[in-house]
Amino acid sequence: MQVATPNDPLYRCPAPVWNRVEELGCDKGIKWVDDPKEAVKNADVVITDTWISMGQEAEKEQRLKAFKGYQVTEQLCREGGAKEGWKFLHCLPRKQDEVDDEVFYGPRSLVFPEADNRKWTIMALFDMLFGHWQIYDPNLIKK
């Protein structure tokens, strides 16, 4: 797995988290790069996340400047050497700076099935943690 972020500790994995990853031996095969083209080389799946999270609005201009060139596009993935059939994921909500419309709404995008899977996962966790509940009216089902 290759992870591309600007070459600034502000955008890297927090040290305590990364230290734990290394401690557990889970760091093998994870490569940190600052070139998005290098990150997509031979990629089957290209994933981006929001660059500006809630509470970081004051950093918007700084972050947009730092992530210039990181927008996921067909051109980036073609020039970077992603595999021909690469797919795209994003956890939402999406901003256009992060991924262009062609990729986000195009045939490579698995964003909406990903969101649907997340919904059912959350519902299953709620069911497990808070008890059984129904999402349908059993009186509507004929026996």
The end-to-end CA distance of the chain, in Å, is 50
CA 30 – CA 3 distance, rounded (Å): 7
Residue 91 is among the residues annotated as catalytic for this protein = yes
| From 13, 26, 77, 91, the catalytic residue | 91
HSE value, Cβ hemisphere, 13 Å, CA-based, for 23: 6
Tally of helices (H runs) and strands (E runs) in the chain: 6, 4
Other Cβ atoms closer than 10 A to 46: 23
The token pair that represents 74 in the structure block: 């067909």
Active site residues: 91
